[in-house]
């Protein structure tokens, strides 16, 4: 059961490879610029998209897929899965899968990184691999590209799965506060990724999640978490993974 219910956080590998992942897109302005940056560093990435936006940009999806990046499922509209019913969860995954077809793969990243046992069982039922991460640097709230790039240099190692955002969305009913705490402006993230790849590009090769899984042993965790909306949310920004 451990093997089936664990969620993948990273990969144990001796090879100098890691995976950048970008959530909540695609975005009409930021995603194409990110693609240019990745291309200039010959880096590939994985995009965990929201179905409601993916369906609006078929040309962008084609460009992403043709550049060799992978596309995964981040639900239809970023609802937090522990807060909705099993039927709604499966409908969310199905609707996003349709929106990212024919390029999408059966990879799922839970909105906000939030998951409980029931939602994990639904992703298993939908035959999607749950891909979490072992590296994030707060790109959803930190406006300083130098600090973000520095944090990436420190935290990214061979086998890392890095969580970043090419857009930022929150579900208006379930997470009204996140909207005010998050930086929808992605300029700092774009600059930071460019700086980071300039610094580490010669030491690490950035590949897609399906490729990374072929380069070592996937590490799994029983990842069940629901972010409290109480005092913590006013003290520290909520992750919008």
Contacts with Zn ion by CB under 5 A lie at: 23-24, 111
Neighbours of 217 (CB within 10 A): 11
Question: Closest separation between CB of residue 241 and Zn ion, Å?
Answer: 5
Instruction: Return the number of the residue (104 or 158) whose C-beta is nearest Zn ion.
Output: 104
Neighbours of 81 (CB within 10 A): 25
Please give the sequence-ordered ranges of beta strands (E in DSSP) within 24-156, or none if there are none: 45-49, 70-73, 107-108, 129-130, 135-136
Joined tokens for residue 93: 């995954």
Question: Closest separation between CB of residue 1 and Zn ion, Å?
Answer: 27
Report the run of H or E that residue 66 belongs to, with start and end. Answer: helix 58-66
Joined tokens for residue 196: 């980071």
Question: Closest separation between CB of residue 176 and Zn ion, Å?
Answer: 15
Question: Closest separation between CB of residue 139 and Zn ion, Å?
Answer: 12
Instruction: Return the number of the residue (23 or 136) whose C-beta is nearest Zn ion.
Output: 23
Measured in whole angstroms, the distance separating CA 178 from the mean position of its chain's CA atoms is 17
Phi, psi dihedrals of residue 110, rounded to the nearest 5°: -65, 135
Report the run of H or E that residue 220 belongs to, with start and end. Answer: strand 217-221
Question: Closest separation between CB of residue 96 and Zn ion, Å?
Answer: 12
- List C-alpha distances in Å: 41 to 10, 34, 196: 22, 11, 10
Question: Closest separation between CB of residue 63 and Zn ion, Å?
Answer: 21
Instruction: Return the number of the residue (11 or 96) whose C-beta is nearest Zn ion.
Output: 96
Cβ-closest position to Zn ion: 23
Instruction: Return the number of the residue (169 or 215) whose C-beta is nearest Zn ion.
Output: 169
First to last CA, the chain: 26
Neighbours of 201 (CB within 10 A): 14
């Amino acid at each position: 059961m451990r093997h089936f219910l664990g969620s993948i956080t990273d990969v144990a590998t001796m090879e100098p490879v890691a995976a950048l992942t970008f959530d909540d897109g695609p975005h009409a302005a930021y995603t194409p610029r990110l693609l240019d940056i990745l291309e200039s560093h010959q880096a590939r990435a994985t995009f965990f998209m929201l179905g409601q936006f993916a369906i609006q940009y078929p040309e962008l999806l084609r460009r992403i897929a043709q550049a060799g990046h992978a596309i995964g499922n981040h639900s239809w509209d970023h609802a937090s899965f522990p807060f909705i019913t099993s039927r709604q969860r499966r409908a969310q995954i199905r609707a996003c899968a349709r929106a990212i077809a024919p390029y999408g793969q059966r990879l799922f990243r839970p909105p906000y990184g939030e998951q409980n046992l029931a939602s994990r069982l639904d992703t298993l039922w939908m035959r999607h691999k749950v891909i979490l991460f072992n590296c994030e640097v707060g790109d959803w709230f930190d406006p300083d590209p130098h600090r973000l790039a520095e944090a990436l240099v420190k935290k990214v190692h061979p086998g890392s799965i890095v969580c970043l955002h090419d857009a930022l969305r929150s579900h208006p009913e379930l997470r009204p506060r996140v909207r005010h705490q998050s930086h929808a402006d992605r300029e700092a993230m774009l600059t930071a990724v460019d700086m980071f790849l300039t610094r580490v590009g010669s030491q690490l090769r950035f590949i897609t999640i399906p490729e990374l899984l072929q380069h070592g042993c996937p590490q799994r965790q029983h990842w069940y978490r629901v972010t409290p909306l109480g005092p913590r949310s006013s003290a520290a920004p909520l992750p919008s993974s």
